[in-house]
Structures are given as structure tokens and as C-alpha cells.
Chain A
Amino acid sequence: MRKGQCVERKVKISVQNLSVFFGQHQALRSLTMNVPANRILGIIGPASSGKTTFLRTLNRMNDLDPESRAEGRVLLDGADIYHPSQSAVQLRKRVGMVFALPMPLPMSIYDNVVYGPRLSGIRNRAALDVIVERTLTAAFLWDEVKDRLNMLALRLSGGQQQRLCLARTLAMEPEVVLLDEPCSGLDPISTARIEDALTVLKERYTIILVTNNTKQASRIADETAFFLMGELVELGETSQIFTVPCDQRTSDYVTGRFG
């Protein structure tokens, strides 16, 4: 553990009055929150509460949908990511994302991992080898695939694929890692491995983990946010959210009484 974790935490991302619209439909309603650096922020909430939308706002993936529109401010290390001078592509190098479904690109394991680094201009084979080993190790996958790095990634099991996706994201050396229900399709053992990886990784990264599994949030998240119908209902230390939530709706949800 590093020093200075107790008192004033550095704020990595600061969200101010963020609203997101898809055409007429408002998916996020005036969100304000701070995401602390080097911790795992868990986001829980029922389906369609805007969790995915929130993540995709943080790395501007919503830009791909021409119908989408964001209002308010999102500051990454104090700089507004939606400011016209900011490049979405450069932002995505700093804010990586792992999707709900494992989605390897149709190429080898090796090529999947070095996809990002190659785009940033790393051509040196030795350097790429180092990146592959380091990130696959960090994703707890290295031992299982080190002998078959040239195999088509689609032939891995679902759990392995998802860890590969995590490694692929880490290979870009991001500062923030967004994970959108990364374990929703996985068995408990694969889930445990990913959770182990995340707890180690928060040393170096700021992690935002959307999960449909409240147990998972209570296990590994340092702080937890509860989303409901596009609103941030409550954000606090995980222990507090799960034991003494301030809001009745949070209480209902975490105790499973929610409709």
C-alpha cells in the first residue's frame, strides 16, 4: 500500500452537472460526483439506469452515436474532456474500457494485446513482447496462454477472452479503466480471477466497475455509487452504502427488496 491513502484522496475525475441525451430521451440526469484516484469505484443499479451510458461518457464512446449529446462538465485531472480542444482519441488512450461481453478482435492473442500499442507507434518487437507479457500477467492470463500467443483469440474460453480484453486495455497504459459488467457472462472462478486482478490493478489505475452483482461491488469496490433511472442516488464508502445507506431506495436495492 502506498502512503497517504487515508486523508485527502486525489480526485481523478470530476463530474459536474452531467446530463446525457439520446435524441429526446434523457439517459443521465444532472450527475455530480468525484471519482478518487487509485481506488475501485463500484457502480450498481437496475437495468437501464444509465450505468453504461455514464461509462461511455467518460471515454467519449457516446460520440459514436450521432444522436447522443452531453451537457455539463467532465474533468479528467482538472481538464474538461468535452472541451473542443480535447481529442477523443487521445482521451481514450488515458481512459480504457472493457465491455460487458468479451469481444476479442478476430486476430491472434498477441495481436489483440498489442493493438493499442501498435496504434501509438510502438513497432519494436521486443518492446511489444514486454507489453504482452506484462499485461497478460497483470490480467492473470499469462500462464494459461503464454505457449499459444499466436492462436486466434476467439478460440479462448469466455473467461479467458474477458481477461484478454482487460489485458488489451491495460496495454494502452491508461490512467483510468472502465469496466462495464465485465463478469456478467462468466463463471464464478473466472469472475474471481478478474476480481483478484482488479484489486491489484487499483495500485496503478483508477478503476470504475459497473456491476449488476451487488455482492461483487461489496467485495472489491472501495466506494460505491447507486444509479437509478439516470440519477445518482447515493455515493459513499462501500461499507457505508451496504450497511447504513442514507437513501431508502439504496437500502431497498442493496437488500434486494427493489422491484
Chain B
Amino acid sequence: MQNSPNIPVQPNCPDRRRTQNAVVIWCRDKLARYIFLAVAFSATASLLLIALFILKEGVPFIIKVGLKSFLLSSEWNPAAEKFGIYPMIIASLWVTLGAMLIGAPLGVAGAIFLTQFVPRSIMRIIKPMIELLAGIPSVVYGFMGVMVLAPFIRNYLGGPGLSLLAGSIILGVMVLPTVISISTDAINAVPKTYLEGALALGATRWQSVHMVILKAARSGIIASIILAMGRAVGETMAVIMVAGNAVRIPHSALDPVRTLTANIALEMGYATGLHRQALFATGVVLFVVVMILNSLAIAAMKRKTGN
């Protein structure tokens, strides 16, 4: 390019170019909009598809056998076409409860400690570390349960080792990152002025935390616990490895148990016909439970943002 003139030159007829392109541009924009709209339903459509096919496979079976005998009968014997999942329901319930007894207090305590009593710099190291650990595959947790936890329980507490207790502990540890991460976010979202106000009134740090922060962050903390519950109910591989998988109603924490998820995964490989339908019906029960927990967690989250 040479030296330019100071006064801009007249452009070469822009109008024709404009009209030529206008239609193409308009079409492309419209097309993009519809594609995005269609794609935006991919997650929802997947969810519906999942629900549809799980229900389609499972519900006819439940209708045939009867919901009551399916849920409340204790006999699971596919060879004899006896399909009662009561023991698995009880097992899932206890394992989840046990996991929450361990995971919720530890996780919430960790979140409070990390946000309130630890310098930001340390928190900046520990929180990502914990989140990194959330990525450790569940089978690895399960393996640790088998190699370390189960022998420990067998030797010091008795029973076979692979047990309800082992399952609860492993699941409790597994949900820790979820609880800590979401609770920390909820606590951090509480405006600083709340805490400063309480401190200014002469409260100790713990009093302020206890009276002000926990109240303000309550919905988020509850949501974290409900989400963790969903995780625990749905966890499969780790539980299969450590919980013992015996189909019976546990009488103590040291008894081996089989959860709903374990029941599906253990027999899915070879099940056919009615048996396979029974496993899908187990999936239906699991799906319904998890959807309820999800909805509760989402509602709790909403309340947090609503305030």
C-alpha cells in the first residue's frame, strides 16, 4: 500500500453486495437458531428416553407380579421366579443412611472449617485437592475397601468384613468431596457483611458461624447432603466390591448386604426373560428414588438462590 489520501474515496457500490448477502445471512441465522433450539433439548430428551425405556422394560413386570409383592417380599430367587426386592431396599436404605452419618457431618464440618477457620491461601490449596479426589474412580474406592477396610473390620469387629458397615464407610468417604464442595460454595455465597455484623456485636467466630452463616447457607448445605444421598443410593461398583452382596435383611452393621444397584449389576450380565425384566424393575425403583432426591436437591438449591 502506498501513501493514502486523506479524504476517503467513494466505496464501490456497497448496496448490491448487501442485498445479495442479506438473504443468505438471514437464512443462516434462522437455521442456527432452530438448530440450537433443537439441540438444547438433548439433555431433556435423553432423560425422557432413559425414563421411557427403563419404565417400558420394568413396569410391565411390576404390574404382572404386583407392586406389593415385588417391593415387600423377601425372597429373591430368579431360578424359581421369585422376585422380591425387600432386602435390597432395606440394604440400600441402611447403606445410604450409614454413608450420610459419616459423610454429612465430616463434609459439612470440613466445609465450615475450610471457609471460616483457615486462611484463604490454605483453603485455595485444599479445596481443589478435595475436588481432584472427587474424580478418583469408584472402583478404586471399592478396591481400597476390599484390601484395607474389610480385613480391618473382620479382624477387629468380627463378621465377614465385607458388610453393611464397610459399604457405608466407603460410600461416606466417596461422597465427602460432593458435600464439601457444594457446602463450601453455599457458605461462601453468604454476604461477608452478615458475619461482620455478628462479630461486631461481640460474638465469637463460632457463635457467628453457628448463628448467622449456617442459617443463611442452610439450603445449600441441605442440597449438598441430598445430592450426596443420590450419589450414595446410586453408587454401584464400589458397593458391589465391599458390601458382601448377600440377599438378606441385615441384622447388624457387620452383616453382608446387597443393594438395589448391586442387584442389577451383578445379575445383568446373564439375566434373560422375566429375570431381566425384574432387574429393570429394580432399576425403576432406583430411578424413582433418585429422581425424588434430585428434585428435592434442585428445590433446595432454588431456595438458596431465591433468597
Contact = CB atoms under 8 A, between A and B. Distances in A.
Contacts of B11: 173
B8 A204 contact: yes
A86 to B, nearest CB: 11
Interface residues of A, number: 21
A46 B29 CA distance: 39
A198 to B, nearest CB: 13
Nearest to B9: A134
B24 to A, nearest CB: 8
B119 interface: no
Given A121-B17, A121-B20, A134-B4, 17 more contacts: A87-B22, A90-B18, A90-B22, A93-B18, A120-B14, A120-B17, A120-B18, A120-B21, A121-B21, A129-B1, A133-B1, A134-B8, A134-B9, A135-B8, A137-B8, A142-B4, A200-B7
B1 to A, nearest CB: 5
A73 to B, nearest CB: 23
A47 interface: no
A67 interface: no
Interface of B: 1, 4-9, 11, 14, 17-18, 20-22, 25-26, 29
Interface in A79-126: 87, 89-90, 93, 119-122
Interface string A16-60: 000000000000000000000000000000000000000000000
A138 B4 CA distance: 10
11 contacts: A87-B26, A89-B25, A89-B26, A89-B29, A122-B17, A134-B8, A137-B6, A138-B8, A170-B8, A200-B6, A203-B7
A133 B21 CA distance: 24
Highest count of chain A CB atoms <10 Å: which of B9, B14, B18, B21: B14
A30 B26 CA distance: 32
Interface of A: 87, 89-90, 93, 119-122, 129-130, 133-135, 137-138, 142, 170, 173, 200, 203-204
The 10 lowest CB-CB distance pairs between A and B, nearest first, are A121-B21, A137-B4, A138-B8, A173-B14, A173-B11, A134-B8, A133-B4, A133-B1, A90-B22, A120-B21
A254 to B, nearest CB: 33
A170 B8 CA distance: 10
Nearest to A131: B11
A87 B22 CA distance: 9
Contacts of A170: 8
